[in-house]
Amino acid sequence: MMVEETKKEDHFLQLKDITTTFGSIVALNNVNFSVKKGEVVCLIGPSGCGKSTLLRTANWLTPPDKGSVSLDGVLVGSESNKNMSLNEMKVLNGIRAKMGMVFQQFNVWPHLDALENVVRAQLVVAKRSRKEAEEKATKMLFDVGLGEKIHDWPDNLSGGQKQRLGIARALAMDPVLMLLDEPTSALDPELVSEVLNVLKRLANEGMTMIIVTHELGFASQVADRVAFMEDGKIIEEGPPNVILKSPKTQRLRLFLDKLNITSFTPS
Ligand SMILES: Nc1ncnc2c1ncn2[C@@H]1O[C@H](COP(=O)(O)OP(=O)(O)OP(=O)(O)O)[C@@H](O)[C@H]1O
Ligand SMILES: [Mg+2]
């Protein structure tokens, strides 16, 4: 199903009127959120405000109670297709596969070596030949700086290396959009920058990304837009040098103060 052609550029990813509840908790409260092609959006906000739910809504991992999502003009899902047929599910899985997801906890398979971690989904989902998948995996692993670790087991990788492996695995599927949920928050401080550098490179190459992160220095360098969420709503958004320097709402100001950024000056 196509959405309005004229707005396609501005609404490469479009979340419309999204409400998601878990029992009495309103995780997303009538959220409207769009991302342009090539845009990098950093999502910030206090614990429980709905950041992860928003990412999981984008690829329909968590279908909302109300609202719809579209990607590049194609409907990813709407409230009316909660009870989907098998065929509709197949179409949806195809669209979902275009969105690479990286979680806070390293989502790599411990029983497969690094190469095989990147190969598997290519064989199963993208139906590539083993030769093609291995070539692609090798390239992706080199790209994220794991060229020396191709046959290492995840248990022998550092947190930062595991996270880069997760990124390589997502990239091997040729995603048009990357969704990253606190990709560095489980890492020791000295390993954060190696992951952020990979993301910076992706941003420079024009990858469209939504990144949940509280690394404000990184956000100010890489994000085109920072969106601040609270209580299931996006309450303030704008370019990082505006929103992080002179927040309009008291709530964002307090949040930034809490992050202890008194010494932080966005470039
Ligand atoms: N599967 C679920 N079942 C029940 N409640 C949930 C579920 N997922 C999220 N919630 C609730 O929805 C709200 C939003 O959760 P979400 O995980 O999106 O927050 P978040 O902003 O990502 O928080 P954090 O910064 O701690 O990761 C929270 O109150 C959370 O407890
Ligand atoms: Mg979260």
Domain boundaries defined on the chain: 106-175
Residue 113 neighbours by CB under 8 Å, 6+ apart? 150, 151, 152, 153, 154
Sheet holding 25-35: strands in order across?
Answer: 25-35, 13-22, 66-71, 74-78
Ligand number with the minimum distance to the CA of 232: 1
Q: Are 41 and 225 in contact, with CB atoms under 8 Å apart?
A: yes
Q: Are 44 and 213 in contact, with CB atoms under 8 Å apart?
A: yes
Within 6 A (CB) of ligand 1 lie 22, 25, 27, 45, 47-53
**Which atom of ligand 1 is nearest the CA belonging to 53?**
18
Q: Are 43 and 26 in contact, with CB atoms under 8 Å apart?
A: no
CA–centroid distance, residue 116 to ligand 1 (Å): 32
- Average pLDDT, stretch 71-80? 87
Q: What pLDDT, on a 0 to 100 scale, did the predictor assign at position 85? A: 75
- 6: pLDDT strictly greater than 90: no
Strands 25-35 and 13-22: antiparallel
**Which atom of ligand 1 is nearest the CA belonging to 54?**
18
Q: Are 236 and 244 in contact, with CB atoms under 8 Å apart?
A: no
**Which atom of ligand 1 is nearest the CA belonging to 56?**
18
Ligand number with the minimum distance to the CA of 180: 2
% of residues, the chain, pLDDT over 70: 93
Q: What is the pTM of this model?
A: 0.91
The DSSP symbol for 154 reads G
Q: Rg for the chain (alpha carbons), in Å?
A: 19
Q: Across the strands, what pairs with 28? A: 20
- 81: pLDDT strictly greater than 80: no
Query: How far apart, in whole angstroms, are the C-alpha atoms of residue 9 and residue 11?
Result: 6
- Ligand 1 atom 30: residue of nearest CA: 48
CA–centroid distance, residue 130 to ligand 2 (Å): 35
Q: What pLDDT, on a 0 to 100 scale, did the predictor assign at position 261? A: 54
CA–centroid distance, residue 71 to ligand 1 (Å): 24
- Tens digits of per-residue pLDDT, 27-71? 999 999 999 999 999 999 999 999 999 999 999 989 999 999 999
Q: Which of 96-110, 140-154, 181-195 has the highest mean pLDDT?
A: 140-154
Report phi then psi at 186, rounded to 5.
Answer: -95, 10
Mutate to test the pocket of ligand 1, among 25, 43, 214, 233 (most ligand atoms within 8 A of CB): 25
CA–centroid distance, residue 44 to ligand 1 (Å): 14
- Tens digits of per-residue pLDDT, 92-132? 888 888 999 998 877 899 999 999 999 998 998 889 999 99
- Tens digits of per-residue pLDDT, 192-218? 898 999 999 999 999 999 999 999 999
Name the maximum alpha-carbon separation found in the chain.
Answer: 55
Mutate to test the pocket of ligand 1, among 49, 185, 213 (most ligand atoms within 8 A of CB): 49
- Average pLDDT, stretch 15-35? 97
**4, 95, 116, 130 from 120: Cα distances, Å:** 36, 18, 6, 9
Q: Across the strands, what pairs with 40? A: 209
CA–centroid distance, residue 53 to ligand 1 (Å): 6
Query: How far apart, in whole angstroms, are the C-alpha atoms of residue 233 and residue 244?
Result: 18
Q: What pLDDT, on a 0 to 100 scale, did the predictor assign at position 89? A: 79
CA–centroid distance, residue 27 to ligand 1 (Å): 6
Q: What pLDDT, on a 0 to 100 scale, did the predictor assign at position 262? A: 43
Lowest mean pLDDT among 12-26, 110-124, 177-191: 177-191
Residue 188 token pair: 């020791």
Q: What pLDDT, on a 0 to 100 scale, did the predictor assign at position 8? A: 61
CA–centroid distance, residue 198 to ligand 1 (Å): 27
- 219: pLDDT strictly greater than 60: yes
DSSP annotation string for 61-80: SS--SEEEEEETTEEEEEGG
- Ligand 1 atom 31: residue of nearest CA: 48
From the list 66, 127, 59, 64, the residue with the least C-alpha distance to 93 is 59
Ligand number with the minimum distance to the CA of 45: 1
Give the pLDDT band (50/70/90) at residue 263. Answer: very low
Ligand number with the minimum distance to the CA of 22: 1
* Phi/psi-derived region of residue 46, left when phi > 0, alpha when psi is between -120 and 50, beta in every other case: beta
Query: How far apart, in whole angstroms, are the C-alpha atoms of residue 66 and residue 30?
Result: 8
Average pLDDT, the chain: 90
